[in-house]
Structure formats: structure tokens, C-alpha cells
Homo-oligomer: A and B are copies of this chain.
């Protein structure tokens, strides 16, 4: 057991991570599965240790500088602060990018749950710099899953060691959430290659000098294909063409035409890219050279494979920033003297640390309950990734996959909402200092505000959950989740005492959620617009109930153990059950009565 305590780090609480990974999820037992047989808990801990060290030594030091001096264009090149390139080089050199990938492609075949836990340190230390790594890994994974062997060799393998970086090019100015409306065209050249023409918006990492090359994964339409989302294909478009021997060739016609300047997450350069604008003419010809990935017109499904992974990573980023804020607020609350306890208001006495004030403890407990609830959910999802790959039976693997699909919109949106709230509370604990840029929590808050937006807004996640996930396979995913929650609630009830109380509250909330879901699914058949009008509220209620379940899982373990750490778990779990879960009651009421307030409001009235 690691002996690092919460107080010693302001990134991620290693003690909590060990609790979640080993005491709860039994990640060490994954080594019993053949894929992970070569590993051990010691190796897992070494990876976490390594990630923490790189996070502290390489990622954290330039976090503020990259915010204050954001990337800028000079002569068509993107300049940024020193430190970004070094940090990412250290990350790739350590092999962390390929941690969970197959041996066959040079990976370590670590469980995804361990690889994801390790990545949290980097996101907590510097989410903007970690963004480049995340995009590169996701792009490499997509190619490995869907690309031709030669595409994997030429593009994906150099991404895994950081020689090349990757991007996802989906949005265009007129097509953000509505990808079916993209206008970028890909013209077949008869030789298997395509030429792309169009422009892409909001492309993170779209141009920089951090790597030898940038591999863009680009959604575009092949003329003559189906209209809308069914006519989208996926292409690899390298910034610089790659020769057969892997060396760099001619410059491809993809150029940065502008940068977006964000409220936070500034260190991740965000670009507008032009494809085939004519600045370069590779092979003496117009257009950006692109290579089709997989089948024509199937691009969106490949991208969604990557996007699902990215969505869980977004949730992890949100939770990591929540953690960094919480641990800083906690340290500040222990050290900052201000005021006196209500029971002893003698002004001649010394001031007490603000953690002595109940309202400050409320703000800390809320943060702890959000952050540790979110980490629990995310690591649970990460383990489902491992399960869908390595469980013995095919049916079990399919179920793990279904449950992961159902939980993905929640794993993306819940941490984005509540760990942002945690960052707001971290500011509030700091008072005026929290609002000052001399402290770090205000940056966490700004950085985190991105997470409810990118990779699908809350509204999009809500439609995904209620409009697709709960109804797919005739509701099997939701039944799997309900069975898991019911089992946990049942165990808690049998324990008696406070746990039984929590178990009853959870079972009751779940039953209401199931009733409401049935009603909404029925209504979807009759009038989808009405059924989905309050999808965002459904997402929030479902999220709180799922996290209450995750907390009860943690409490079932903590109950049997002594010491301050477990007392803290009990306190935060109690807080979630008393202060948070009850929020869902009025939400479920509103959903139950198919509230039409928003639907019946005419745009002209606003």
C-alpha cells in the first residue's frame, strides 16, 4: 500500500487511487487474465509512480506559462512556450502513450484501467499539454483498429512513440454538433488516393512544431455519396507526406489559417485548417493528399469508436482538474487562519484555520464527493474497456461493451459538470485569493469549462443517452446497469445501519429512474420531441444516481476498515447521499410528468 497521503500532492491522491484500483476494482487480479499475465501490481504502481513524476517534473512547471503566453502564429508557424515539447517527449519516451496497446504494435499491454489512472496525473498537472498526447493516442488507436496494415505502419506506429502527433478533424464552421452537414470534399484520384478540399474548425493540435509530422484524421464527403451523416468518410491526411520507407517527403496542402483563442485550456493550440487551399501542390497537383480509412461512407462510425474513448478521457480530464483544485483548496483550508469557531468567538484568541468552519468543510466535502465519485465512475468504465477485451465468455464481453456504451455519456458529462463545480468551490474556499491568477485554482476552473462543450456538448450526450443508449438492444444496457445497482443496494441493506439507509435510498431512486425511463421510451415512439425535450435533466438525474451507486460501492469497502482515510470516505459518501442524491427527486418528478415547458415556449416569446 502506498503511503502517500492526500496532503503531499496537489494533483491526484495516490492513496485514493490505490483504494479504487486495488481495494475496490481489484485491478491486481487482472493479471490472472492471459493478456495481462506478464504484469503485477508492482508494475502497475511503477507506472503510476512514473506518470506522477513526469506530471510533477515536466507537465506542471509550464502549466501557468502556457496559459499566460498562449500559442501564437508567426509566419505560418505556431510558437509556444518551452516545456511543452520536453514534457511530451518525456511522456512518449517513457512508453506511456502505448501503455495499454498490444505488444504487437509496440505497446505494454497494460490494463486500460491502469493506463487511464496514470494519465490522470498528466491531466491534473497540465491538461492543455496532456491534450496533445490524448489526441495522438486516440488517433493512433483509431488507425490500429480500422486502418490498413500499411497505414498502421506508416502513420500509427510513429504516433505511439511521439515522432508524429495526431488530430481529429470533424467540425467545420457551419457544422459543429451536426456533422452530417460538413462540406469538405474528397475526390478519388483513381490510384487509391484522394484529394481533399475544405476547411476545418476547432482543430486542437492542428499545427505546431512539437513533432516531426502531424497526422490529421479528417471527415469528408466523397461526391455522389449519400446526403447527411451517411455520406461521411474518414481520411488520413498527413501534414507532410510519408514515403514508403517512413521518411518525410513533400509538404501536403493542409495549412493553418487562424487560431482560436480560448478562455482556458490555452496551451492546447486550437486551429482553423484549410485543406487543398493551394498553398502547396503535392505531386504538382491541387488538393491535400488523403488516404481513405476503411470503407467509404462509414467514417462516422470509425470516428465514434475513437470519440467514445475520447469522451471517457474528457471525463477523466474534468475529474483530474477537479482533483487538482480540491487538493489545493484542502491545503489552503488547513493553512489559512481566518475567523473563529462559533463556540468560541473571543476576538483576543488566535484565528483558526478555515477548515474549522463548517461551511468550508461543506465545500471541501462536496469537492471530495464529486472528485472521488467521478474517479470511481471513470475507473469503473476503464475496467469495462478491459473486460470487453478480456473476459472469458463472449456474452460477458458483449455485456461489458453494452454497459460501457450506456455509461459513456454519463462518464463524459457528469465529471464535466460536477468537477467544474468542484473547481468553483475550490475558488470559493480560497476567497479573493482564489480569483487571483497568482493562485492556480482559477485556471483549473477556466480549463475545465471546456469539458462540458467539446467531444459533444451536454445536450448531445443527453440525446445519446436517452435517445439511443437506453433503448438499444431493447433496453438491455439499462437492465444490466439496474441489476448491478440493485445488487449493490442489496448488499448495503444487508449490512444494516447507515449503509442500509443508503441502500434503500439508492434502490428507491433507481426504481423511479426505471419507471421514468419506461415512460419516456414509450413516449419516444409516440412523440420523440416531447420524450426528449428534457433529456438534459434525465442525463443529470441518471448521472447522480449512477454516482450514488459508485459511492455505495466505495462505502461497502470503507465500512470494514479503520483510520482517517476510511472515515473520510464515509464522510464524503454520506455527504453524497444526504446533500446530492436528493437533488434527483424533483428532476424525476419533472420527467415523470413529461414537462412541456420548454417545448411549448415559442422562440418569438424569448
Contact = CB atoms under 8 A, between A and B. Distances in A.
Contacts of A601: 361, 365, 568, 571, 575
Contacts of A600: 571
B598 A437 contact: no
Given A431-B457, A598-B359, A528 B437 contact: no
Interface stretch (A145-153, A395-403, A584-592): A584-592
A459 B606 contact: no
Interface stretch (A169-177, A386-394, A485-493): A169-177
Given A442-B263, A582-B589, A586-B582, A459 B360 contact: yes
A605 B571 contact: yes
Contacts of A436: 260-263
B529 A343 contact: yes
Contact of A361 (B261, B589, B598): B598
Contacts of A560: none
Contact of A341 (B171, B529, B589): B529
Interface in A426-485: 427-428, 431-432, 434-438, 442, 445-446, 449-450, 452-454, 457-459, 462
A34 interface: no
Nearest to A355: B603
A320 to B, nearest CB: 19
Contact of A358 (B6, B178, B533): B533
Nearest to A342: B529
A177 B352 CA distance: 13
B260 A347 contact: no
B575 A598 contact: yes
B431 A449 contact: no
A263 B338 contact: no
Given A428-B453, A453-B432, A358 B599 contact: yes
A338 B465 CA distance: 20
Interface in A272-295: none
Identical chains bound together, number? 2
Contacts of A228: 347-348
B342 A528 contact: yes
B358 A529 contact: yes
A487 B362 CA distance: 36
A202 B430 CA distance: 13
B334 A603 contact: yes
A375 B315 CA distance: 36
A174 B337 contact: yes
Nearest to A173: B433
A33 interface: no
A424 B450 CA distance: 11
Given A178-B340, A567-B605, 16 more contacts: A175-B338, A176-B338, A229-B347, A263-B435, A333-B603, A353-B603, A358-B533, A359-B535, A361-B598, A362-B534, A445-B449, A568-B605, A568-B606, A571-B597, A574-B597, A582-B586
Interface of A: 6, 171, 174-178, 180-181, 201-202, 227-230, 260-264, 330, 333-334, 337-343, 347-348, 351, 353, 355-362, 364-365, 368, 424, 427-428, 431-432, 434-438, 442, 445-446, 449-450, 452-454, 457-459, 462, 528-529, 532-536, 564-565, 567-568, 571, 574-575, 578-579, 582-583, 585-586, 589-590, 595, 597-606
20 contacts: A176-B431, A176-B432, A177-B339, A177-B431, A178-B339, A178-B351, A229-B347, A261-B437, A262-B437, A263-B435, A343-B528, A356-B603, A358-B529, A358-B532, A361-B603, A446-B446, A568-B605, A571-B606, A579-B595, A586-B586
